[in-house]
Structure 1
Amino acid sequence: MPRIAPLAPPYPDDVQGHFDAIMRGAPPLVLFRTLAKSPRAWAKFRGGSLLDRGPLSLRDRELVIDRTCALAGAEYEWGVHITAFAAAAKLTPDEIAATVHGGSAAPVWSPAERALLAAAEALHNRAALDDPEFAALRAHYDEDQVLEVLLLCGFYRTVAYVCRGLDLPLEPGGARFPRAA
């Protein structure tokens, strides 16, 4: 039994319009249907969601999101992103596994990707970047991109709280955390 039952179809016209815009023809996610039960929560989520194209490449964006979700134990959201974006982001199976096990220390990353993942790890562990971590990011990313990294980490940590706090069931067909090697 869900902690908060997701919205069931037929959806109100405005909510259906949001689902159509975000999901592009696919059924809406349990997360979206649950948040849409509260007009305020749904509006706040959409307003801060960073679902648009930002200053990072799709690959960099997904690495930040995937590592943040993995660190927070948010298999639901990690699985949604791996299923929806890993192929387009050209993530290999070893890289996907390293977003969960190994993180920035895994040998599969470029120096720029290592800096991204280290930033996600530092923000998760300490809610801060030290000078070397910030310098590593700035060696590869401009100010807008660094701000995007910070916002993505914070937003997806919030998403992790929602998913785990509600104990959302994993999406059918969604990726699962890989086993440790």
Structure 2
Amino acid sequence: MFDTLRQDFRRNRDPLVRLVLAVFRFGQWTVARRTLTRRCWTVPYKVLNLLVIRLGTNSDLPRELNCGPGLRLFHPYGLVFHRDARLGRDVNAYHQVTIGRRDHSGEPVIGDEVTLGAGATVLGPIVIGRGAKIGAGATVLDDVPPGGRALGPRARVTGTLLETAE
């Protein structure tokens, strides 16, 4: 837990973001250790989650979320991540990002080094490839290849970064 939190802190300088990530990683630690069933951890975690994450930033970061190290939050307000979503390493998320499911068939998988723009929505059993960029206000319902970009209200993939650089 401490190595992951240390990587998160290296990527985030804002004290509020660091506090949110500390509470989130503490929740993950309690789930991994199965200590949340004990009363000594249940009440402190629920109080911290309510005061810091829910009321302080109006966000929903469930402790069951599978999230790699190096999560970077820019303005951590209005974030909603589904508990079954999987986030890779070094994911950048701006404010009001929503990651959820459309149905019960599968969870969204966000690859390593993905950037999610402000107000982006990723829904469904989809895969966002490594290094992809999701534009601000984009609603992504289809897979995005590694290095791809998804832009627009009903996002369409505009190509990989390698193709646009040529």
Give the TM-score normalised by the residue count of structure 1: 0.23
Name the structure with the higher helix share: 1
Higher relative contact order (CA 8 A, sep 6+): 1
TM-score by length of 2: 0.24
Higher strand share: 2
